[in-house]
Amino acid sequence: MKEKIIKILTELRPEFDFTQEGVDFIEEGMLDSFDLVTLVSELDNTFGISIDGVDILPENFSSVDAIAALLVKNGAK
Amino acid sequence: MDFVFKHKRISGILTILPQKAVKFEDEMANYNFSPAKCMKLKIAMGYNEHRIAAEGQTSADFCEHGLRYLVDNNLLNPNEVDALLFVSQSPDYFLPPTSNLLHGKFGMRQDCLCMDINQGCAGFELGLIQACMLLDQPAIKKVVLLNADVLSPKVSPQDRNSKPLVGDAAAITVIDQCQEDNPIYANIKMDGTGALVLNIPAGGFRMPSTAETAVMEEDAAGNFRSKDNLVMQGDEVFNFVQREVPPMIEHLYEQSGVDRNEVDWYMFHQPNKFMLNKLADKLGVPRDKMPANIVENFGNASGVTVPTCISYNLGDQLCNNTMQLCMAGFGVGLTWSSIMMKVGQLMFNRIIEY
């Protein structure tokens, strides 16, 4: 799952390294609110789920682990 | 707050759109984004083209054109109108009310009530609720509800938060008393603590427009706008909608006793395709029962999107059939409202251009 997430993130913002540990993607400006819209659409399609709208909050996209936890919560396997 | 009304029906809907259509691609260069990112945004949000009023055209002009069309086609007799409601955020003047101006242009009776209501995205629902409250009075048998907004002049061309989605339009809905029960279930909620989430800071009495308020400033996301422009805190609006609208619709099912499977169409306000699809998924509604094609084709004209959605997607079908509609509006105020009612056998349900 994490590899797929990193691949999607890298395609979205190729200028950043999303494999770094301890980096907050939001605080560092690696993802903005419009990236989140595109990212959610990609994640929905890739994992065959629909991420709940109330979960589309910046803190749930701050790291690969946070995104993975969000996907699991929304039914991704 | 919940409402139930009986012996009232919608007898016609007319949507009036500007002739001028502007493509998303034609405005992309104004946004502080790469072309590739703009195209991703276009797909995710469902942006394609939006209708923009010609310079000098106001909300009242679109209403006047639509009313003239109805009168000329014998679909409305101005002498039979007992109340004229104008729901808009873009009146011609601070005073007089725009509804009074239109009343004068059509020579309506002196005992016709005119009322302007300042409301945006939930303006169709609030207008319908107000119309039904008026129709509870024996003296009022026919209400003409005008929803109209021409806000494009207030949106910065360099604001990718708002510019690609805003459209101009008007809609005329005629609501009558009727013999049949025809129950209409409605609810509405407000949260004024979020009132400035959608806002035009300057131009009113609090902050009159000056040379200073016209200065363009860059925000943290790279958008440029002045205090005379519409500002929308998109994240806040999105979160508010996802938090409040699903429980409102669940409540409407309970309130009305209408099962979700009995609803033929979900006609919701249209901020963008992404937001609507998320709402449909959350509510367990098939996406094709909640059309999300108004922003894509015409833009978001605040309270006009719901009647536009009905006219565009159902058209003459609603002149020959009756359908169970679940309607919802949410946004400016903050305000959120929904209505469950049967609509059909309309005298007219169409779109014209001006």
**Closest Cα of chain A to B222: distance in Å?**
11
**Which residue in B43, B242, B274 is closest to A54 by CB distance?**
B242
Check B278 against A53: CB less than 8 A apart: yes
Q: What is the pLDDT along chain B (354 residues), one digit of tens a residue?
A: 999 999 999 999 999 999 999 988 888 878 777 787 788 888 888 888 999 999 999 999 999 999 999 999 999 999 999 999 999 999 999 999 999 999 999 999 999 999 999 999 999 999 999 999 999 999 999 999 999 999 999 999 888 878 888 999 999 999 999 999 999 999 999 999 999 999 999 999 999 999 999 999 998 778 899 999 999 887 888 889 989 999 999 999 999 999 999 999 999 999 888 899 999 999 999 999 999 999 999 999 999 999 999 999 999 999 999 999 999 999 999 999 999 999 999 999 999 999
List of residues 6+ apart from B212 with CB closer than 8 A? B227
Check B239 against A57: CB less than 8 A apart: yes
Among A53, A51, A46, smallest CA distance to A8 is for A46
Strand pairing class (B231-232; B198-199): antiparallel
pLDDT at site B27:
81
φ/ψ (deg, to 5) at B279: -65, -45
Cross-strand pairs, B342: B324
Strand pairing class (B113-117; B83-87): parallel
List of residues 6+ apart from A75 with CB closer than 8 A? A49
Among B14, B64, B66, smallest CA distance to B351 is for B14
Q: pLDDT tens-digit profile of A35-72?
A: 888 899 989 999 999 999 889 988 999 999 999 999 99
Interface check B278 vs A, CB under 8 A: yes
**Which residue in A38, A51, A52 is closest to B40 by CB distance?**
A38
pLDDT at site B24:
84
List of residues 6+ apart from B168 with CB closer than 8 A? B18, B51, B52, B53, B57, B59, B62, B149, B150, B151, B152, B299, B301
Amino acid B230 reads L
Check B279 against A53: CB less than 8 A apart: yes
How many residues are present in chain B? 354
Interface check A14 vs B, CB under 8 A: no
Q: pLDDT tens-digit profile of A1-19?
A: 888 999 999 988 888 998 8
Interface of A with B in 20-59 (CB under 8 A): 32-34, 37-38, 40-41, 50-54, 56-58
First to last CA, chain A: 8
Q: Quote the CA–CA distance of B286 and A76 in Å, as a whole number.
A: 20
pLDDT at site A11:
86
pLDDT at site B346:
98
* Mutate: best of A26, A41, A61, partner B, most B CBs <10 A: A41
**Which residue in A32, A50, A56 is closest to B238 by CB distance?**
A56
Helix (H) or strand (E) holding A47: helix A33-47
Q: How many Cα atoms occupy the beta-carbon half-sphere of B51 within 13 Å?
A: 26
pLDDT at site B330:
96
Mean pLDDT calculated for residue range A20-34: 86
Domains of chain B are 1-354 (3.40.47.10)
pLDDT at site B39:
82
Please give the mean pLDDT across all residues of chain A. Answer: 89
Query: Nearest 5 degrees, angle CA B69-CA B70-CA B72?
Result: 65
pLDDT at site A28:
86
pLDDT at site B192:
96
